[in-house]
C-alpha cells in the first residue's frame, strides 16, 4: 500500500532520481532502508539543460547505486513551452491548451508553465517496468507538500492511483514510497542536513549555468528553504 512512512527494510529499492534536492534526500532515506541493492533511475527527456542528469550520476556514485539514465522523447510540445523560452517566477497557464474556448474563465485551474502533462505518469510507468524486470518491489520518489497545489501528478491521489495501476498492469506487488509528501522544503533541507546529503551535488535552477540564476521559481523556493532552515546552501 502506498505510504509516506518508512516501510519494512527492503532488499531492493528503486529511487526516481532527478538530481534535485528532494530526490537526493529521498535517496539518502532509501539508502538507510535498503538491505541489498539500491537502484536509481533518471530520465533524459531533452530538458532545458543536462546539469541535473550529471549530478544524478554523481549522487548515484556517492550512494553506491545501480544507476540507469533512460532516454525519452522530448516533452516540450505538450505544454508549448519551448527550450528557448524564458521561465519567469509565477508564470502560469490554463489547464488545457491556451487556444481552447473559455480559457479566460476563473474556474479553470491554473498550472505552472514548468508543468509537463503526462511526464510523471511516463516516469512511473517506465520505472515500474524496470522494477518488474529487476525484481524490485519498492519505488521511492521525492514528491513533497509544496509540489502538490500546482502539480496534479504530485498529489497523494495521483500516487495512490499510480500504485494501483502499476500493480494491476504488471500483475506484480509494487509499492510507492513518498517519504517527503507531507513536508515543506525547509523541513526537507533540515532532514537532508541530518542525513548528511551532499547538497553540493544537487541542482534546482531552471537554467544550467555555473551558478543558479536566483530568479526562477525553483531558485526562490530553494533559497527560502535554506534560509528558513538556517543552513548554508553550498550551491550559490
Q: Is 9 left (phi over 0), alpha (psi -120 to 50) or beta?
A: beta
Residue 204, in any domain of the structure: yes
Residue 104 has pLDDT above 50, yes or no: no
Q: Which three cell numbers stand for residue 192?
A: 537532508
77: domain CATH number is 3.40.50.620
Residue 79, in any domain of the structure: yes
Residue 109 pLDDT: 59
Domains in the chain, number: 1
List, as one string, the DSSP characters of the chain.
--BSS--S-EEEEEEE--SSHHHHHHHHHHHHHEEEEEEEEEEES--S-SHHHHHHHHHHHHTT-EEEEEE----HHHHT--TTS---TT-EEESS-TTSTTTT-TTSPEEETT--TTHHHHHHHHHHHHHHHHT--EEE----GGGTTT-GGGSHHHHHHHHHHHHHHHTS--EEE-TTTT--HHHHHHHHHHHT--GGG----SS-SSS--S-SHHHHHHHHHHHHHT---S--
Residue 76 pLDDT: 56
Provide the domain limits for residue 209: 10-229
Q: Tens digit of pLDDT for each residue in 35-76?
A: 999 999 999 987 777 899 999 999 999 999 999 999 987 655
Residue 137, in any domain of the structure: yes
The whole-number average pLDDT for the span 169-186 is 95
Residue 118 pLDDT: 82
Where is average pLDDT lowest: 45-54, 111-120, 173-182? 111-120
Q: Tens digit of pLDDT for each residue in 74-101?
A: 655 544 444 334 445 455 554 544 444 4
Contact 159, 178 (CB under 8 A): yes
Residue 73, in any domain of the structure: yes
Residue 114, in any domain of the structure: yes
pLDDT band at residue 132 using 50, 70 and 90 as cut-offs: very high
Residue 183, in any domain of the structure: yes
Residue 235, in any domain of the structure: no
Q: Tens digit of pLDDT for each residue in 183-225?
A: 999 999 999 999 999 999 999 998 777 789 888 888 999 999 9
Residue 91 pLDDT: 52
Q: What are phi and psi of 40, to 5 degrees?
A: -130, 150
Residue 217 pLDDT: 83
Residue 234, in any domain of the structure: no
Residue 102 pLDDT: 40
Using a CB cutoff of 8 Å and minimum separation of 24, what contacts does 110-117 make? 110/150, 111/150, 111/151, 111/152, 112/150, 112/151, 112/217, 113/79, 113/81, 113/87, 114/81, 114/87, 114/206, 114/217, 114/218, 115/79, 115/150, 115/151, 116/75, 116/76, 116/78, 116/79, 117/78, 117/79
Residue 46 pLDDT: 75
> 109-144 in b/e burial notation, b at 16+ Cβ within 10 A?
eebbbbbbeebbebbbbbbbebbbeeebbbbbbbbb
Q: Tens digit of pLDDT for each residue in 4-23?
A: 777 889 999 999 999 999 99
Check the CA dihedral 130-132-136-141 and report its sign. positive
Residue 110 has pLDDT above 80, yes or no: no
Mean pLDDT, the chain, whole residue set: 85
Residue 1 pLDDT: 54
Amino acid at each position: 500500500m502506498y505510504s509516506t512512512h518508512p516501510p519494512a527494510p527492503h532488499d531492493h529499492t528503486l529511487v526516481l532520481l532527478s538530481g534535485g534536492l528532494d530526490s537526493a534526500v529521498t535517496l539518502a532515506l532509501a539508502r538507510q532502508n535498503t538491505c541489498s541493492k539500491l537502484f536509481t533511475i533518471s530520465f533524459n527527456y531533452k530538458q532545458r539543460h543536462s546539469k541535473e542528469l550529471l549530478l544524478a550520476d554523481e549522487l548515484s556514485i556517492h550512494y553506491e547505486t545501480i544507476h540507469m539514465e533512460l532516454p525519452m522523447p522530448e516533452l516540450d510540445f505538450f505544454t508549448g513551452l519551448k527550450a528557448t523560452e524564458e521561465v519567469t517566477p509565477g508564470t502560469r497557464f490554463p489547464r488545457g491548451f491556451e487556444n481552447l474556448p473559455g480559457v479566460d474563465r476563473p474556474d479553470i485551474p491554473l498550472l505552472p508553465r514548468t508543468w509537463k502533462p503526462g511526464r510523471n505518469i511516463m516516469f512511473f510507468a517506465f520505472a515500474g517496468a524496470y522494477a518488474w524486470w529487476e525484481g524490485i518491489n519498492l519505488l521511492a520518489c521525492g514528491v513533497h507538500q509544496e509540489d502538490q497545489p500546482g502539480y496534479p501528478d504530485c498529489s497523494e491521489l495521483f500516487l495512490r492511483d499510480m500504485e494501483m495501476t502499476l500493480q494491476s498492469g504488471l500483475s506484480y506487488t509494487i509499492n510507492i514510497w513518498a517519504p517527503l509528501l507531507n513536508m515543506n522544503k525547509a523541513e526537507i533541507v533540515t532532514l537532508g542536513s541530518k542525513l548528511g546529503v551532499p547538497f553540493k551535488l544537487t541542482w534546482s535552477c531552471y537554467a544550467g549555468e555555473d551558478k543558479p540564476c536566483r530568479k526562477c521559481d525553483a531558485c526562490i523556493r530553494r533559497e527560502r528553504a535554506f534560509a528558513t532552515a538556517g543552513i548554508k546552501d553550498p550551491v550559490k
